[in-house]
Amino acid sequence: MEERVKSLTYKGRRHLPLPTGPFTVGCTDVMTSYLKFGVFVRLYYPSRDQGILDRYLQWPLWLPHKEYLNGYSVRLGIPSSIFRFLHQILVGKLYIPAVWHAALRQSDEKYPVVVFSHGLSGWRTVYSSLCLELASYGFVVAAVEHRDYSASASFYKKQVRMSASGTNPGASLCDLDDLLNDQTDFVDGKWDPGQGTQDTSMRSRQVKYRAKECMEVLDLLEDLNKGRYVVNVLESNIDSGMFYNQLDLKNAFFIGHSFGGSTGILCLATELRFKAGIFLDPWMLPFFEDQSCFSMISQPFLCLLVKSFQTKKSLEILKNLQDMHSQSQFYFIKDADHRDLCDTPFVNKYSLSLSSKVGLRIERFAALELMSDLIFQYLGHHLGKSIRSSSSKIESLKKKFLRSEEYFTKLIA
């Protein structure tokens, strides 16, 4: 795997791994309103195009804009100029191997859908490797960019009057301090990504707003499937009508990582349109004071945890969640890092972890491989079919690093 990833460069363009499924992947952004809180998603879907390498000039960049680096640098407490320099050296330009604004592959069998929620300081492209893989096997994935201060940055379309000379409306990209300059029902005043990380009250309000956004994404997908006109203020070239009667909303799944995982817990408690959920190392701080929503969950879910990220208190709360839902599945990945479950292992040109090289932690890409396998097996179970088979390497990784429910009791004791 290490050697395969090192060679991921085509025509001078370094890119995320090519998805392994039978379909070429298309992608586009949809923003539904000029208002700052309009739903904003990156859609990944099976494309009718063939030959992804032949279309390398149509690949979008993994980093949508440098402002996302500025926001993340605040979260890390690193001056933005230094962080951008390090990003240029260690990452540089990285591309997503998907056809921008591609046409949807029309199918007699509707595509199941996934709503994906990012973690704190993430954005809509941070989990592109997993979203690409899902789309290549016949899912339509809507990766949300949240507008609750939890993203590193976001942008919105400014509504501008057309002048007599026909000036086009302009798009403005802003950091989070500028995104919300008014009082809201979930944030008391202004907050920047580097402060208030452990503010339980604020996080509990944010997770409610995030869940509301995910429900609105389901509304958007329903509108697309019914052939209703959907405003996309980004004025992309995509034809929203191509999704008409192509989406299987009876098989709608939620996947979220970290803050996105806790968002999924609330989503399943309040939105019955989700058939099942997958929580990737959920951040349980929003539920430290109130877990009343746990008993409201009626759908099954899979919870994948990284031991090093979870505190004793969060593990106790997760154990309560597990005890309320005996049909749920809980797994732990040993010797992994919380960020191993997003695109981070693929983003850096070089592995900076000596501990993984000497065997003190999981191999650089192993956690992603395990996560991906568990997700496909779980989704396949709920769809009643096998989507992607496990390799012998995956089975070996499971024996070495994956632990199930009995490991939970050992950690709590």
Q: State the catalytic residues.
A: 258, 281, 338
Strand order in the sheet with 247-257: 99-100, 25-31, 40-46, 140-144, 111-117, 247-257, 274-280, 301-306, 329-333, 402-403
Give the bridge partners for 116, in sequence order.
Answer: 143, 255
| Residue closest to 152 by CA, chosen among 80, 100, 251 | 80
Residues near 232 by Cβ (< 8 Å), separated by ≥ 6? Answer: 30, 31, 32, 238, 240
- For residue 56, give Cα distances in angstroms to 9, 31, 59, 149, 152: 11, 25, 5, 33, 28
277: tokens are 């959920």
- Rounded distance, CA 55 to CA 91, Å? 22
Are 111 and 248 in contact by the 8 Å Cβ rule? The answer is yes
| Residue closest to 259 by CA, chosen among 197, 337, 311 | 197
- Rounded distance, CA 252 to CA 112, Å? 6
**Cβ–Cβ contacts within 10 Å for residue 50, how many?**
11
